[in-house]
Structure 1
Amino acid sequence: MNTRFKQLLQLSAAALLVTSSSQALAWGQIGHRVTGEIAELYLDADTREKIAALFPNQSLAELSTQADSELSNPSEFWQQTWTWHFVTVPEGNEYSLDKHAPKEGDAYTALTSSTETLKDPKATVEEKRIALLFIVHLIGDLHQPLHSGNGTDRGGNDVKVEFFWQPSNLHRVWDSGIIDNQNLSYTELTKWLSQKITPQMASEWRTTDPKTWIKESIIIRDGIYPEEPKLTYDYQYQHIATIKQRLQQAGVRMAAYLNEVL
């Protein structure tokens, strides 16, 4: 297990269940819950049992937003995890651990370390619980295109726009604006999206390599910057299908990843 990650996990054990605000940084709560709910449909029975042993009576949808919520937790551990929710890959590059991962860690290194912890027979139950929270959350994050940022605008947060005549920024539009504008609960959106995933699609999407997810996000990212700041029906129409597919892919891949790890 990564030594620094292990030290932070140990710091966090007493604070795991202390949740503050519902701050959301990627996909918003609806999007993350959709990815978790879709993943539930593809879990192996053994994987499901092992997850239930760590988190009895809690679904992946419920777990999926915890890593964002805990960013308001004042504990030393959670205050050092904000860089773990994204990667930075300048335009024209592919993600490189040596070139792009900061010393504080990023979504790729946090996912890797969390995976090692979850597989480690010497890790405590508390450490495994936190590791699982991050795995479920970060797989969603890495499918949001602006969480593979280009390093110039804080993942689109500095790109000010109007979304349906309300002040916003590009990151927020992709996190939650377009999704929330569908006026669906996460269970309704999950039902609609999951019914459209064919066995062939699920098979084709079942890659568990995070670098593949990042590469896909970068390709999408570079095509979503608007030419003008007023975004309404046209912008939403151009990108809603992509958002839906990324939620579907994240759910299928989350299940495949957990099945593989557990």
Structure 2
Amino acid sequence: MRRIALTVALLLAAMNVAFAWGPSGHSIIAEIARLAPLTLQHVADLPRSGASLASSASWADDERAGDKTTTRWHFADIPRTAPGYDPAGDCVLDASDGECIIAAINRQLGIVACPSLPLEPRRRALKFLVHFLSDLHQPLHAIDEEGGNCVKVTVVAQKGVNGNIPFTTSLHALWDVTLIDKTVWSWGSYVERLENSWLKIADANSVTCGTTIDWANESHQLAINIMRSVPADGVRDDDYRRVNLPVLDTQHSRAGLRLAKTLNDAFAKGDCPAGQE
């Protein structure tokens, strides 16, 4: 039985290697986004069948599986040795894989609130933005070296939830999924944690100042520390989760507040792509 459970854990870890935060993380961020009344009014018309932002927050990962030209829209390969994002080197267009998350966000912002565009491209833009503002705050989506996907770690956690059998995964998947899954049984409980702690005392104006480039650079600095701190044996234990839980809380909370600010500003302006005004 223990061998079967370990096999399942390994399979689940392998499945989650390529995605930022995993479905739970994306749903958490969408759920805590504090949208203005005008934004709520517009957003209510965009998702199909009354779907919530949280329910479609992982849609862009499914879309990437079918449309490879959106692959690089989810991250920025900023070199570990670089101080921050450089569009000339970190956002070069690849015909088959796209360019980078900064360009993708800017492009979707020119579509989502344009009243003269059909609903379908605006729906897609909304779902992309919900996802990409989340991806931008997963630190390992702002660094090169495959974002830690090739760095193997062994999770040895006796505390927390969802079992205590050791398993091997990637550093990227550890931050995508495992740290959340070892903290709560469901993403709704994580939302409650943030609403009753970090978000309760947050200064939203301070958190949401800056640009997507500033936020990418912030994630990049966190990613450098995360990559640097992997020990030779690759073991990540309960102490690692305890020390990094504040970082996890902060990045999810920042993403939720910044997603709301980004959408609120977009719908308040109602900008359109050139030629579509």
TM-score normalised over the length of structure 2: 0.80
Q: 2:39 aligns with which of 38, 47, 54?
A: 47
Residue 178 of structure 1 corresponds to 179
What are the residue-to-residue correspondences of 1:172-251 with 2, within 5 Å? 172-196=173-197, 197-198=199-200, 200-207=202-209, 209-225=211-227, 226-228=230-232, 229-251=234-256
Moved over 4 A (4+): 21-24
CA distance in 1, matches of 2:218, 2:65: 30
CA distance in 1, matches of 2:28, 2:92: 30
CA distance in 2, matches of 1:117, 1:97: 22
SS in 1 for 2:216: helix
- Give the root-mean-square deviation of aligned CA atoms: 1.8
CA distance in 2, matches of 1:80, 1:123: 22
Are residues 237 and 190 of structure 1, via their aligned partners in 2, closer, same or farther at CA, if it must alter by over 3 Å?
same
Higher Rg of the two aligned structures? 2
SS in 2 for 1:198: helix
Q: Is the 8 A contact 1:207 1:256 kept in 2?
A: no
CA distance in 1, matches of 2:212, 2:175: 20
CA distance in 1, matches of 2:194, 2:211: 23
Q: Is the 8 A contact 2:46 2:123 kept in 1?
A: yes
CA distance in 2, matches of 1:102, 1:130: 23
Q: Which runs of 5+ in 2 are unaligned?
A: 1-14, 157-165, 268-277
2:134 counterpart of 1:147:
no
Matched length: 234
2:66 counterpart of 1:66:
no
CA distance in 2, matches of 1:24, 1:184: 22
Q: 2:72 aligns with which of 83, 95, 112?
A: 83
Q: In the TM superposition, what is the alpha-carbon distance from 1:203 to its structure 2 partner?
A: 2.5
Q: Which runs of 5+ in 1 are unaligned?
A: 1-20
Q: 1:115 aligns with which of 100, 109, 112?
A: 109
Q: In the TM superposition, what is the alpha-carbon distance from 1:86 to its structure 2 partner?
A: 0.3
CA distance in 2, matches of 1:44, 1:195: 21
Q: In the TM superposition, what is the alpha-carbon distance from 1:163 to its structure 2 partner?
A: 1.5
Which amino acid in 1 is paired with 2:86?
S
CA distance in 1, matches of 2:220, 2:123: 30
CA distance in 2, matches of 1:44, 1:244: 23
Are residues 84 and 142 of structure 1, via their aligned partners in 2, closer, same or farther at CA, if it must alter by over 3 Å?
same
Residue 126 of structure 2 corresponds to 132
Q: Is the 8 A contact 2:91 2:100 kept in 1?
A: yes
